[in-house]
Amino acid sequence: MRAAFSDTLVRLAKADPNVLLLTGDHGYALFDDFRRECPAQYINAGIAEQNMVGMAAGLARTGFRPFVYGLSAFIPVRVLEQIKLDIAHDHLPVILIGDGAGFVYSHLGTSHQSTEDMACTRAIPDLSVYSPADRFEVSACMALAYQTKVPVYLRMGKSDRGDVHTHDLSQVKAGQLLQVKAGQAGAISLIATGALVRTALDIAQASYPEASVWSAPFIKPMDSQQVITICAQSRAVMVLEEHSVLGGLGSVITEIASEFAPVRILRVGVQDRFSQHCGTYEYLLKEHGLDRPAVEQRIRDFLIAN
């Protein structure tokens, strides 16, 4: 995923000299190719994320196309006020990249674990929120963010779970849900985003062959009609995300379904608590009940009870 991000960024910058990369003293190895190919378009703003966002807003006003990179615990969480007032309020085409979303920076503790970023950003008016699951979705989201010329927060998990798609997604439209496994009408549907798309697909293939699986690379905007259709054709919907159950993808799907297509919905995500311990990425998924066995059990229990 990160290689696809870097490659797409280099391609966009070489085609458009107004594309700039601003980093908060992160991502050195990741940006080796960018610095080699486009050295004049690279700015290390240092560990001063609020200033960096303000700088990006000023550059956007003068015709540049800034990409602002940082860890998702800092971009966007540390700089929400600047994103809201400097960028979104004036509808400036700044693309904010939050790397290492969820529990990826596991050993660094709560300060570096980002499970509230989608909830924070989707509440800001005029700010789009993207959450790609694999390298194909990263490339498509990057291209769309550049083409649409609107403020965008792109959430990128550093953990690479492998591809869920097998082909280029250049024709994807913002807000679209992408089917990664076809199912039967009247069966269950799994809707996931980011790293948990792979988990949803593996569970469906192993235990629920009749289920459909959808990836949600766009948290905002969301194609409401598509969500309504999926919910109307499903006996139950399971939503999976490496994010708080408050305000993320599960909230988006539930909000739409409750008004237009009521259906039983299981929201699988991080409960309203911090991590109790530090450890590996896999350990934290298990602690929060997001490893595959725990998710499978949640789905089984939900279907039995309902």
Q: What pLDDT score was predicted for residue 42?
A: 97
* Cα–Cα dist 130/194, whole Å: 9
Confidence check: pLDDT of 44 > 90: yes
pLDDT of residue 153: 98
Average pLDDT over residues 111-120: 96
Among candidates 180, 176, 174, 141, which has minimal Cα distance to 157? 141
Average pLDDT of span 166-183: 95
Residue 301 CB contacts under 8 Å (≥ 6 apart), including other chains: none
pTM, full prediction: 0.97
Distances (CA, A) of 176 to 83, 154, 173: 24, 15, 6
Q: What is the dihedral of CA 126, 127, 132, 136, to 10 degrees?
A: 60
Give me the CATH code for the 2-156 domain, please: 3.40.50.970
Q: What is the pLDDT of residue 159?
A: 62
Residue extents of the structural domains in the chain? 2-156, 178-305
Element (H, E) at 35: helix 32-37
The pLDDT tens digits of the residues spanning 2-29 come to 889 999 999 999 999 999 999 999 888 8
Q: Is residue 158 predicted with pLDDT exceeding 70?
A: no
- Are 2-156 and 178-305 the same fold in CATH? yes
**Secondary structure letter of residue 53 according to DSSP:** H
pLDDT band, very low/low/confident/very high, at 160 (cuts 50, 70, 90): confident
pLDDT digits (tens, 9 = 90+) for 262-301: 999 999 999 999 999 999 999 999 999 999 999 999 999 9
The confidence band for 53, taking pLDDT boundaries of 50, 70 and 90, is: very high
User: C-alpha distances in angstroms, 118 versus 89, 95, 134, 252, 287?
Assistant: 18, 15, 18, 11, 21
The domain over range 178-305 is classified in CATH as 3.40.50.920: yes
Q: In what order do the strands lie in the sheet with 236-244?
A: 178-181, 212-215, 188-192, 236-244, 265-270
> Above 90 in pLDDT, residue 247?
yes
